[in-house]
Amino acid sequence: MPFSSQFSIPNAMKIATWNINGVKARIDNLLHWLEESSPDIACLQEIKSVDELFPRMEIEALGYHVETHGQKGFNGVAILSKKTPDEVTRGLPGDDSDEQSRFIQAQFSTDQGVLRVVSLYLPNGNPVDTEKYPYKLSWMKRLNSWAEEQLALEEPLILAGDYNIIPEPKDAETPAAWVNDALFLRTSRVLFRELENLGFSDAFRATTDADKSYSFWDYQAGAWQKNNGIRIDHLMLSPEAADLLETVDIEKHTRGWEKPSDHVPVVITLKNAF
């Protein structure tokens, strides 16, 4: 199927992030969602697949270009787009020894310039008394350093993904249960706040102060049925991208599907400035 390298959108551009929790296990749900929601760009995390085994043919049959940065059994990120990116880079700069597949960036030509979109899967960091938590903090510092450099380009940039960060108490149904968790520890949240202080906007919080709006519900203890969730999937927007933001939607109905991911898609629309 031929792809174009340039977006030309009649109304708005739709960009989504979704931790799919295993693309091969959820391929039917993913295909249904792509047809139902029809995002222009979809950022996936935890694809849990090496690049050569990613089910690209089924996705391409729906009209999407596929770029992946995978590894066997865990982690892995992907960007699906209705248009072909001009450039794709894999891996977060700053540590050549880091072999975990958690970062992919695609650059697109638009009618009015460049749009850059990142799909990222920030480390969980638990248990906090192991090497996993220092790795999480180090990864966040690298992300912030890289993101600060990108702001100098003064281009629309979207950092979309599973951040494994609960930004505020109202982003959890039971904040007390997370006090000692890497997702909610003060040091973790301070680094997330540093990203905001650089000039990046949390798309969801830019549009609403609502509580009880979550993107993740554990499979255990009836968390979904009780709405015992947390909001850890975020789209962080550069000032140029934030200026284009129109709407944000958490598509929580997908959590009720058969064999669901424990995350749901978070979708933004950008006004027609492309």
- Whether residue 164 is contained in a domain is answered as yes
Query: For residues 274 and 265, what is the distance between their CA atoms, to the nearest angstrom?
Result: 23
Q: What is the pLDDT of residue 112?
A: 74
Which pLDDT score is estimated for 264? 98
For the stretch 67-109, pLDDT in tens is 999 999 999 999 999 999 999 999 999 999 999 999 999 999 9
Mean pLDDT of all residues in 23-39: 98
Assigned domain for 186 exists: yes
Domain assignment present for 179:
yes
* Among 40, 133, 162, 163, the one annotated catalytic: 162
135: nearest Cα among 144, 126, 148, 147? 126
Angle, vertex CA 186, rays to CA 265 and CA 210, nearest 5: 40
| Structural domain includes residue 1 | no
Number of structural domains in the chain:
1
Q: Which of 64, 121, 163, 214 is catalytic?
A: 121
**CA 265 to CA 188: how far, in whole Å?**
23
Beta-bridged to residue 14, according to DSSP, are: 269
Tell me what the mean pLDDT of segment 36-58 comes to.
97
Burial of 179 (0-12, 13-18, 19+ CB in 10 A): exposed
Residue 88 within a domain: yes
Residue 206 lies in a domain: yes
- Taking the model in full, what pTM does it have? 0.95
Whether residue 64 is contained in a domain is answered as: yes
* Annotated catalytic residue 121: yes
Q: What is the CATH number of the domain that holds 150?
A: 3.60.10.10
Could you tell me what percent of the chain has a pLDDT over 90?
Answer: 92
Other Cβ atoms closer than 10 A to 219: 11
**pLDDT, tens only, 171-226:** 999 999 999 999 999 999 999 999 999 999 999 999 999 999 999 999 999 999 99
C-beta of residue 265 within 8 angstroms of C-beta of residue 251: yes
Is residue 184 domain-resident?
A: yes
In tens, the pLDDT along 237-269 reads: 999 999 999 999 999 999 999 999 999 999 999
Segment 107-165, tens digit of pLDDT = 999 877 899 999 999 999 999 999 999 999 999 999 999 999 999 999 999 999 999 99
Annotate 217-236 with DSSP letters as a single string: E-SSTTTTTTT-EE--EEEE
Host domain of residue 43: 6-271
